[in-house]
Structure 1
Amino acid sequence: MRRQVNPGRLFAGARSTGFRPASGRAASGRLKDRNDYAILRRSCKKLGFSEVIPDMSLQSRKSAGLDQVMTEVLNAHRALLLSDDLSAAVMSVLGKVGAAAGVDRVYIFEIHNGSGVALASQRYEWVADGIAPQLANHDLQNLPLREAGYSRWLDSFLAFRPVYGNISEFPETERPTLRDQGILSLLILPVFVSGTLWGFVGFDDCTCQRAWCDAELDLLFALTITLGQVLCTSQKSDADAAAVASISLVGSMLTVHAATLSETPMDALVERTRARLGATVGVHRYFAEHGCGSSVNARQLFDFLLAHFSDIHSCSRDQAAARRIDIEIAPLEVAVSVALNLVMIVTEVVATLSERCEEGAQEGPPPADVLTISLAAEQRRAALVISARGNCGVPQPLDGMAHMMLRQLIEKLNATLGSIRNEGELLRLCVPL
């Protein structure tokens, strides 16, 4: 007779740092989060249960540590750029990020050419306790991706798209090798250097199925930018250098904010940092997809990032409100570093505006909000203007986080703040071209 057990019933008294049995009496002390389900599964097998049904609350626990993932990604950025022992630093980083993300295995593959065939070879791997390592698996060296049934993966990578989900929902041709490794769910992110696919980073969950959220993808995509910078020995592009510098600035500002803005809630610091990293990842993706050299078309870049700005601008409180962002960007060719810093400035203002709208929300549907972002040439300079109409249209002072970040970005651009000319203007910035 086939018996099943739901771990949620066995561990009804779960706490944030570990699980206790429903009786409240610990069986053998507290367990580490990333191992609790694996230990439960092995114990159930010994007791004769043939299957363990994952409880969705466990999935939520494993996906809830986004703050810790963000911290470890930024710590990894600093550690990788400063390390004298790259191999040791990479292994340490994979372990810390993997533990924070609640996964069981993290690995790096390099994609290389073999007689015109795209081959993938595993270079690094970290595994949690009780998980079988795969670094010595010969099948994962010189693996011909298309010929082995992973054309979908390669096509997604080349389009700068991740591959993720539960293995049970993957095409049948992809499942055998993944099942042999004990994988139930995975996330694979491409690594691009100078607009060329270098390889990919993978995150395996071998203990339960899970849903990967957009915030996780953005944070872990930021890690791929750093890994590409340190692992690839070829010449890096201006776009790569700009993205790496942006992540460094985001990490530094989080440290400064946490030390100096004692009255700012940690949740606010985290949300602002996520928005900043999301902007950097979005710009890096555009650079990779469009093969940018030393300059970029500002209109095309901002059109590409409209969804990013809109996501920040949309407050959960006003789902019924007609909120939108209008992009009025001239087709100016600007240096990639200038373009990225302009995007970061817009992200900062939009994030602050959205938070202020949330704080001042009134009951009932608010009036429509329209945020306009414009960039136009003025002689040898470009004028960046951000203005708003509607419920959030009254200019409000920027918060301390925004002031600190904008000061850094304005200095990098050698820009100057201009006088407000029209009603509803939030920011006017003159940038040398």
Structure 2
Amino acid sequence: MDKNNISLEDAPLNSFHKKLTLYSSAAPFLDGYVLSIIGVVMLQMSNALQLTSLQEGLIAASSLIGMFMGGFIGGLFTDRLGRKTLYLLVLVALGVFSLAQFWVTTAWVLILLRLLLGIAIGADHPLATSLLAEFLPKKQRGSLLASLVMMWFVGAACAYIAGEFILQVGGDDAWRWALASAVVPAGLFLIMRIGTPESARWLLSKGRLAEADQVIKKVYGAAYSVNNLPEKSPEKDVSVWALFHSAYGKRIFFVTFFWTCSIIPQFAIYAFAPRILQTMGLTGDWASYGAVAITLMFVMGCFVAVKLVNPLGRRKLLLHSFLWSGLALLLLGLFPDGPAIMILVLFGGYAVFIGGAQVLQYVYPNELFPTEIRGSAVGLATSLSRIGAAVGTYLVPISLTTIGIGNTMLVAFGVSVVGFVVSLFMAPETRSMDLHLAGSLEH
């Protein structure tokens, strides 16, 4: 076979692609770990530092605020400086800030460190997924990018397991050891990432053809070259400002809106599942077991969506995800006092069906923008989506006490309807497109 005629988009998946997928999962894993570990140790930490309720809230929210800041900043830097250097530096920062939590003596220092941790995690989202998207063959790009979402739940589960174990054996300083424990996965991911090459597409966008050629030969073999990469020259006049107007402005609106509409109910339900279930009549162990079951259903929904993202296509998967998860929320809103088994089934149904929108949060942003602004686009969408996460998490307890559980679920249904309508009119199909064509304005 003449490899000179093979596009790298059609090259077979190799061991490098699989390893890079694992290395790039650091962002969602550490996102889930860092956000979850704080809840495990909050009681002991609050007693040790004599925290006020305001300080507790700020400590819990500071990482989300940091992710809002870090997403767009990280995207800008990864487009200007490349993917490779920051791919390592963010994990160095994560390790340092995690370890520094061990020695905190005041709430405000801890708030600052959690903010910096959030900035580092937020920065890793756009650069890691951009680098991965720019290497993956088109047949596997959607499913492997989508699979990263499940690592958030793996990180959260590891945080709960590690945190509870440390609290059992760590004594009065257990909370310090638990918070600092994030240095372990950060260090392991850093070691794995050492030696990762720069994105050949980014090198080409900067006119560095010889370096791009070397990377391609290293990853794919000596028989391949830049001639096998469809993306041979940078887009004309594409800058980060294109994200705020014209056709790329419409794309960032679509990505941000569907992402926000999917995570407002998702974050709220995940964070307050036991309280919501208790409000709907599930008491005692039922509420705890139900919350665990819902978490497992979220993972199952992501797994099923990963399998469907190619055969069903991006657009259909997104529309079906909003449609059926929204229906589950509608029924929960209409029958908040229904039998316990019905409540659990409907919550489980929501968790499974929202999986499509969840996994596409990593796929669409990387496919709909060219190499020159891909990192910035993913970073901006990541940052703006955190506003939705914060709003949803903040308003749920207020909503439960003011308008009741039924109306709260109906509001969540309304959010899903908005997501469906926006997707119906704006969601494109990029399933079988080369990356450079999906990111151009010609389709």
TM-score, normalized by length of structure 1? 0.29
- Determine which structure has greater relative contact order: mean sequence separation of CA pairs < 8 Å that are 6+ residues apart, divided by chain length: 2
User: Which of the two has greater strand per residue?
Assistant: 1
Q: Which has the larger radius of gyration?
A: 1
Question: Larger % of helix: which?
Answer: 2
